[in-house]
Structure 1
Amino acid sequence: MRELTGQQVVDAIRAETEKTLEALGGYVPTLAIVRVGENVPQLSYEKGAKKRMQNFGLDVKTFVFPEDVTPEVFFQRFREINADSAIDGVLLLKPLPEQLDVRRAEQMIDPEKDLDGISPVNIARVFAGEEAGFAPCTAEAVMETLRTYEVPVHGKRAVVVGRSLVVGRTLAMLLLRDNATVTICHTQTKDLKEECKKAEILAVAAGRAKLIDRDYVSAGCVILDVGINADENGNLCGDVNPEGLSDLAAALTPVPRGIGAVTTSVLAKHLVQAAARRLL
């Protein structure tokens, strides 16, 4: 079984972005990270995003609001961040506290700066099969992995386990755009094992530790594990149990060192693309 690690994908994305940066003639794109409160997972993602931007030679500005910020203060400032010509892309960390309407924020974000594809405009573009907008970074990280490792998608039977808008459903649309035949499943799907066994490409984003084992996998299947969970011993694990897959699956993305490592690189790629669309 081939291990599809994220580092090779990250290197390919970096090489692509370096070419675009050269065309920008020394201009350094700037990302705005907007965070409310001190949510630990958000802080972790923010740290990783900052490090990746630095590695790609990009700038970051962080805008932090207290947990109890009023809607009036937050949305006024968010509007100003969106309109700032010195900012090329905006990353809004979610969830937001209950006093802030997340849908209002999603509708307010400038689609051309919406690097994680949360605005209704960009979601609509993805579902319409257009390439103009930005897809959610995690879903696109899966597609970048398939492209980098030259896994054929055209005409293949793909099964996506997970139906969230930012991963499962969006990923299904991206696979469909590349001419896969796609089935969307979830934890409530009847005969989930049998549905998964039909897959030549199996992408799992259900958010349930080790949900998928060898009983769900057909011979030669390429498995993309999007899950990040903690197992019974507190160790990081995915939605796929890799034990017993080495003689069955053709390839598997590990957790960690897999899709998660690619996601922030996609964010960097989107930032450079946003700047290029505005300036070139």
Structure 2
Amino acid sequence: MSDLFYNAAPQETRVAPPRKTARDYPTSKPRTVYLFGTCVVDLFFPEAGMDAIHLLEREGINVDFPQGQSCCGQPAYTSGYTEQAREVARAQIDLFKGGWPVVVTSGSCAGMFREHYPDLFKDEPETLAKVQNLAERTYELAEFLLHVCKVQLADQGEPLQVALHTSCSARREMNTHVHARALLAQLSHVERVDHDHESECCGFGGTFSVRMPDISGAMVADKTQAIQASGAQQVVSADSGCLLNINGAFEKQNIPLLGQHLASFLWQRTQSKQEPRA
């Protein structure tokens, strides 16, 4: 949910860990996966969660969505509330037992599972073992579609120019911008256009946008104006927190653009007439 790892923490400042070396991917698709939908998708972009399920099921994969899932704990963690973050994290860990992969509809939340849970529980050996197992099974949605499913997308839409936005933590920790670019490149009628400030934060940053609204507002203004100047007809992102911030800024500035979650964009662009949307 959060873009930034330098929020003004009451107890300690969180710093993103160095990116690990490239991971090894399974040589075949699993029969079943867990889906972690994230709280922002659940509350504001439920269609993105459903479209992620459609994409996975079309690849012949069964999707299990544990009903008890909630937040990954990132807002508390990045704000320095370690004990509260552990409490939230423990509730998630217990839901994703076994060996199934965990596919996450947000790169920043996937990064929380994969990169930061081990730090949260480094002093609890029994829990740490579970966390390390979960981390190795965690994939961001675009990463999973590209490298595990080895999906081949057939574009069914009209010619379109799109701008891609990737949250800061998703970019640093999960390389999500690379995966999303590769999937968009498979769409024969979609042209991805570059825009200034592409690698910069949109200003959301979870609690950062609440604590420093003036700075956050200036950052998202730069972002949205750069996207508009690129000539893009639509915005795509795999992180819903960023989409909330960017779409709100578009509306406030009367910019006739709208951001859409990558899962929904891919599903709609590749849906055949025989696949009515649920």
Asked if Structure 1 and Structure 2 have the same fold, meaning a TM-score greater than 0.5 normalized by the shorter chain, the answer is no
Query: If the length of structure 1 is used for normalisation, what is the TM-score?
Result: 0.37
| TM-score, normalised by the number of residues in structure 2 | 0.37
More helix, by proportion: 2
Higher strand share: 1
